[in-house]
Amino acid sequence: MKDHTLLAPPASNHMLEQPKNSFLTEDFLLQTETARRLYHEFAKDQPIIDYHCHLSPEAIARNEHYPDMSSIWLAGDHYKWRAMRTLGVEESYITGDASNAEKFTAWARAMPYTMRNPLYHWAQMELKNPFGVTELLTEHNAAEIYSHCNMLLQQPAFTPQGLLTGYGVEMVGTTDDPTDDLHYHQQLAASGFGVKVLPSFRPDKVLNLAGGDTYRAYLRKLADASQVKIVSVDTLLEALQNRVEFFHANGCRVSDHGLSYLPFGRARSKKMDEVFAAVLAGNDNEASALEQDFAGVILAELCKLYHQRGWVQQFHLGALRNNNSRMLQVNGPDTGYDSIGDFAQASSMSTFFNALEQQDSLAKTILYNLNPADNATFAAMTGNFQQAGIKGKIQFGSAWWFLDQLDGMKDQMNALSNMGLISCFVGMLTDSRSFLSYSRHEYFRRLLCNMFGDDVEQGLLPADIPWIGKMVQDICYRNAKDYFPFGE
pLDDT, tens digit, 9 for 90 and up, residues 18-54? 444 578 999 999 999 999 999 999 999 999 999 999 9
Q: Are 125 and 146 in contact (CB under 8 A)?
A: no
Q: Do 169-483 and 4-22+66-153 fall under one CATH topology? A: no
Q: What are the strands, taking DSSP E only, across 278-373?
A: 312-317, 319-320, 339-340, 364-369
Over range 140-162, report the average pLDDT.
97
d(CA 435, CA 172): 11
- Fold (topology level) of 4-22+66-153: uronate isomerase, domain 2, chain A (1.10.2020)
Q: What is the pLDDT of residues 100-149, one digit of tens each?
A: 999 999 999 999 999 999 999 999 999 999 999 999 999 999 999 999 99
Instruction: Using pLDDT thresholds of 50, 70 and 90, give the confidence band for residue 268.
Output: confident
Domain 169-483 has CATH 3.20.20.140: yes
The more confident residue out of 54 and 488 is 54
CA angle 245, 429, 58 (to 5 degrees): 55
Over range 178-197, report the average pLDDT.
97
Task: Give the side-chain half-sphere CA count within 13 A for 339.
Answer: 6
Over range 193-208, report the average pLDDT.
98
- Angstrom distances, CA of residue 186 to CA of 44, 247, 455: 32, 11, 46
- The mean of the pLDDT values for the chain is 94
Segments making up each domain of the chain, as ranges: 4-22+66-153, 169-483
The answer, yes or no, to whether residue 160 has pLDDT greater than 80, is yes
Cα 455 off chain centre by: 29
d(CA 238, CA 422): 39
- Angstrom distances, CA of residue 57 to CA of 13, 176, 423, 441: 35, 9, 32, 20
3 state SS of 225 = helix
d(CA 379, CA 483): 18
Residue in 163, 179, 199 with CA at minimum distance from that of residue 439: 163
364-369, strands of its sheet edge to edge: 254-259, 312-317, 364-369, 394-396
Kind of pairing between the strands at 339-340 and 319-320: antiparallel
The answer, yes or no, to whether residue 69 has pLDDT greater than 70, is yes
d(CA 439, CA 120): 12
Indicate the residue type of 145. I
3 state SS of 390 = strand
Record the pTM. 0.94
The answer, yes or no, to whether residue 253 has pLDDT greater than 80, is yes
pLDDT of residue 334: 85
Kind of pairing between the strands at 196-198 and 169-173: parallel
Sign of CA pseudo-dihedral 307, 313, 319, 320: negative
Query: Phi and psi dihedrals of 89, rounded to 5?
Result: -65, 140
Task: Give the side-chain half-sphere CA count within 13 A for 318.
Answer: 23
pLDDT of residue 437: 95
Q: Which residues contact 343 (CB under 8 A, 6 or more apart)?
A: 260, 261, 317, 318, 371
The answer, yes or no, to whether residue 259 has pLDDT greater than 60, is yes
Q: What is the pLDDT of residues 323-377, one digit of tens each?
A: 999 988 888 888 889 899 999 999 999 999 999 999 999 999 999 999 999 999 9
Q: Are 323 and 260 in contact (CB under 8 A)?
A: no
